[in-house]
A and B are shown apart, each in its own frame.
Chain A
Amino acid sequence: MASSILTIILFFIYTWGLGFTATYWLKKPDHRGERFFLNVGLGLGLFAFLIVLLNLFRIPLDWKIFLALSLIFPLFRLYKLYTLKPWHFHLPKFNFKLTRTNLAFIIVLLIFAVSLFVYTKGAFSYPYLEDEDPWGHSTGVKYVAMEKDAYDPVVNVYRETSDPVISYIDPYPPAYDAMLGILHQTSPDITWTLKFFNALIISLGLIFFYIFVKRFSGDQNKAVFAAFILAVIPSYLSHFIWAMALATTLFFPAVYALNEIKDDKRWFWMALVLIAAIWFAQNISQPLKLIFLLLIMVLVWSLSLAKLQWRPLIAIIGGTALSFIWWVPMIFKRGLQNFISYYTIGDQAEIITGAGSGAGEAVGSSLWIKLSTLWSVISNPGGSSARAYNLNDFFIAKGQNLINAPIGIGIFVSLLVLIGIILVLLKYKSTLTDPKQAWLAIAVLWLIYGFWAVNGSTFPFSIARDSFRSWMLLAIPVAMMAAEGYYWVKNRFNSKTLKLAWFLFIFLGVMLTSAQQKYELNTAIWPTSGSFTNPQEPFEYAEFFKSIPFDTKVFVYSPRDKLPLGLGAFSCLWCQEVIDFRENILYSDVNQLYSFLKSQGYEYLIINGAMDYKYLSSKFGANETNELLPQRYDEIFNSGKFTPVVQQPDRYVILRVD
């Protein structure tokens, strides 16, 4: 518990310290609270950036190094302040007044707190990690925490694949796993670390969003309302543990920094780093969409001011180029074609690189074919949950939803957005493109882009990859336009009573048609890995893992090392000895198994009939597995080298290695 609290404090020191250091000379919001969280947001991006930079120079990703980097400048400033002008050094007076700005900020903090509560309540309502991806992230997190490295280990694997050992680092950009890995170095419970900090990052995003909308629109009331809408829209990020949480959250500080360049060119470097950080946070498709949103912003500024906004544009292009400090080593490591294969299907990689043979070569040599194939890769709306959407999917939010990328907006919010759009078109008409209203034009174009991206499988052609993973991006302009619609109607009323009635009507409507469904989805017990073959197993496994010390070495007979890793124990997924042993595990008798486990320091062995059969038969074939697996089990039970500690007849046995 103490280490968890310490790690929360450390998280804020890393992020605030880095943000403070990088933007000390730049103008930030007047409000202390807003300035603090802006520093945290900017620091979060810098944290991600430094992870890749330090890793490039082979500097260990150790929490002490990040602590030093985040504190060195603030401590230096403090020292200077204290030594040069000691009479100026005293604690700030607590002269809190309930001003409109303070009240707005308190409401935003409340939205943040409720959001964090809901996300953590849901995440901790079951003891395991949900679905498959979070287990994959847990392996990356553990690897970075232990090895302090964000490049895949150099191991000899026995199958040809571009990503043989750890899925969410190398070539997958490592910032999310590495950041959680660094936090895990001081917070020994990996399940807690993943669940809590994922929820914290998403919830902090709401504050960053408020700060950016306030600065963007110049209206703090609209910013508060927009933050409230973003928090309650079901389609804006669930507590599902994946890198999307970081990439989407980093978008807000990046937009803020980009916006500031217009007034102060010194923000350029910050924007550059934050844009690179977005590329480091998640695999290509989502950053690509976020970068497209930023380009839309620059396009609107340039057209409305009738002057190319080259600084923000170069920040976007430069930030993308800067991200090559991650991508270039990946390409060199794998070769261009293998690298592209990682992101493509079929022969797309060959066509793009022109490496086809025979007929393919002729086809691959055409620039047009190459470009159209590249476009089809970038804009492929497919994915496991891609489908066409209809009106109900937008208007009627559902509590039963996709857990990784929930869909739906809710009827009240949808109506507010429609009011917002109609208002913008009717009220502002041609002045919509005036620089003063540029933020509205940007919000409308973001809305169009988000709507089109979501409808990649609905409309005749798609403009973004993974349509169902675009819902959270659509939620951003939806929140902005809903705020515009809400305040326009509110400002029509002259009477305070009518204004209050309108607020209550909308608040209750939004709570009932969006927030309730979001709460339902995010506090439900989510399913877990398909590795488990019985619904009780994940709970029983978690119970056992809770009873042993963190990082106890537990070997799962099937190649599911991610299960002990994700449940707080340890199995060296990336160790050559383990990889080698797994290669012939079915042909290894009990003596070989026992001596392997002892030599590697494993304390427990888990055998699970259905799970072992499922994974070993796919590797060794059904006949071989049917013949050898029962034989291996008999040997294990009769060897006297193992003591059963948990037994579920006909399902699984957990044995202590004696």
Chain B
Amino acid sequence: MLFCGLIRMEDKMKNNLEHKTENKIGPIIPVAPANEFFVHAKSQKLSQKILLYLIYGLLILMIIFSLMARKNLGEEGFNNCVQEKCAEKGPEFCSKFREINNCCEGAGGVTAQNEQGLSCQFG
């Protein structure tokens, strides 16, 4: 009853507000018509250009970083990862299962146990 009464009250409130502010509050205008592939640019302000270049720049950076990340893959990537952890936090830390497993999964391998201890296997 309380909810119902108040929902109705909010409805009335909203209608009043809509009436008063209809010129101020508009819906966000939807994007370009569906059948139009390219949306043609009007003249751009400098700040808009900066934003556009920022987006392009960051996207290119992500692509470069992703390509560079290929070095993390495979046996070499695994060995580098373990060595970095050993150098950073010592041999006890880098010989933990969790750390070896993290390096192995990051290199795209599967952690396995053999006679020498933990190893990373690549399919």
Contacts and interface: CB of A to CB of B under 8 A. Distances in A.
Interface of A: 16, 20, 24-28, 30, 32, 35-36, 74-75, 77-78, 81-82, 89-92, 215-219, 263-264, 299-300, 302-304, 306, 384-390, 392-393, 421, 425-434, 436-437, 439-441, 444-445, 448, 451-452, 455, 457-460, 491
A428 B39 contact: yes
Contact of B108 (A392, A441, A491): A392
Contact of B2 (A75, A433, A459): A75
A89 B55 CA distance: 53
A264 B98 contact: no
Contact of B106 (A24, A302, A389, A434): A389
17 contacts: A16-B3, A27-B17, A28-B14, A35-B10, A81-B5, A218-B27, A263-B26, A299-B51, A303-B50, A306-B48, A390-B69, A390-B73, A390-B106, A421-B59, A426-B38, A440-B31, A451-B62
Nearest to B6: A74
A429 B46 CA distance: 15
Given A28-B14, A74-B6, A448-B59, A433 B48 contact: yes
A444 B55 contact: yes
A92 B5 CA distance: 7
A433 B48 CA distance: 5
A392 B110 CA distance: 13
Contact of B69 (A89, A388, A429): A388
B10 to A, nearest CB: 6
A458 B9 contact: no
A444 B58 CA distance: 10
What 7 pairs between A and B have smallest CB-CB spacing?
Answer: A388-B106, A491-B34, A387-B102, A303-B51, A433-B48, A430-B41, A218-B28
B7 interface: yes
A218 B30 contact: yes
A35 B26 CA distance: 17
A459 B70 CA distance: 10
B63 to A, nearest CB: 11
Interface string B80-106: 010000000000000000100011011
Contacts of A20: 6, 10
For this complex, into which size category does the number of interface residues on chain B fall?
Answer: 35 or more
Contact of A433 (B3, B31, B44, B59): B44
Nearest to A24: B13
**Which of A27, A219, A428, A455 gathers most chain B CB within 10 Å?**
A27
Contacts of A431: 32, 39-42
Interface of B: 1-11, 13-14, 17-18, 21, 24-32, 34-35, 37-42, 44-52, 54-56, 58-59, 62, 65, 68-69, 72-73, 77, 81, 98, 102-103, 105-108
A387 B11 CA distance: 51
Given A91-B5, A491-B34, A216 B46 contact: no
Given A78-B9, A217-B30, A434-B48, 12 more contacts: A25-B17, A26-B17, A27-B14, A32-B11, A81-B5, A306-B45, A387-B106, A388-B106, A389-B106, A427-B39, A431-B41, A436-B28
Nearest to A35: B10
Contacts of A439: 28
B112 to A, nearest CB: 16
B21 A27 contact: yes
A429 B77 CA distance: 37
Contact of B47 (A26, A302, A421): A302
A467 B35 CA distance: 40
A389 B48 CA distance: 33
Nearest to A89: B5
A427 B44 contact: no
Contacts of B51: 299-300, 303-304, 433, 441
A302 to B, nearest CB: 7
B102 to A, nearest CB: 4
Contacts of B34: 491
Contacts of A389: 106
Contacts of B18: 27
B6 A78 contact: yes
Contacts of B37: 426-427
Contacts of B50: 303
Contact of A445 (B11, B26, B55): B55
B85 to A, nearest CB: 10
B24 to A, nearest CB: 7
Contact of A437 (B31, B47, B68, B105): B31
Nearest to B102: A387
